[in-house]
Amino acid sequence: MNEPLIQHHWVALAAPRVAPALATSTVLILGRIWNANGAEHSTGNAALMAVLAAGAATAGAFAAGGRGGGDGVLAATAFATSGGLALAGVAGYADGSSLPILLWAVATAVAYGIAARYWRTDRRDTIAHTRQTTVRREEHGHVERVEALRAGAQIEAARARAAYAEQLATALVTRAALPHFNPQALTDAGLPELPAGTEHE
């Protein structure tokens, strides 16, 4: 029952870690396929990829330098697209595999460097959220414990008052039932007068 959940959790954790390498490897493979299908030493195809890469880099620069600090996610996406297009262009144009593999390694390292920054930020936010949730839970638990103690004390006090009243009533009834009990003698002795209706007839 728990095995599919564990596998899903493992996949969810591993997917972001392999995404940069998977993306750059896919671009390299597609570039080499394009190379095998006629892009090798094709100036037109190389110029097209250069223009597309430059356009994506320009879009990234505009996104990064926009008003209010720019959109970091959009800028990163644009720069990643520019790098991918440049890698694909080189992989498609070059006749050997050394330069494409070198660029693939550099692109992968850069992608992991950028991703690591976002992973650290995400981890920091997750830890802060977990800490705040724990603090709130402990505060609520403390308030609940204090209220439970207060309610318990009030209940015990009410029970004690009820038990005292019952004992007092029993004592009054018992005292009134004693033979030769004279409440007036107690009053004459300076004791408080008993409530009406408790005198022995």
Residue type, 123: R
Q: 3-class SS at 19?
A: helix
The lowest-confidence range among 94-98, 135-139, 141-145, 182-186 is 182-186
Determine the Cα angle at 24 with ends 53 and 80, to 5°: 40
Q: What is the pTM (predicted TM-score) of this model?
A: 0.55
Which residue is it, tokens 């920091």?
124
Q: What is the pLDDT of residues 86-126, one digit of tens each?
A: 888 888 888 888 888 888 888 888 888 888 888 888 889 98
* Alpha-carbon dihedral 120, 126, 129, 134, rounded to 10 degrees: -120
Alpha carbon distance 175, 169 (integer Å): 10
8 Å CB contact between 105 and 136: no
Query: Residue 178: how many CA atoms within 13 Å on its side-chain side?
Result: 10
Alpha carbon distance 50, 45 (integer Å): 9
Q: What pLDDT is stored for residue 1 in this prediction? A: 46
Proportion of the chain above pLDDT 70, given as a percent: 80
Q: Which of 84, 80, 76, 79 is nearest to 31 (CA)?
A: 84
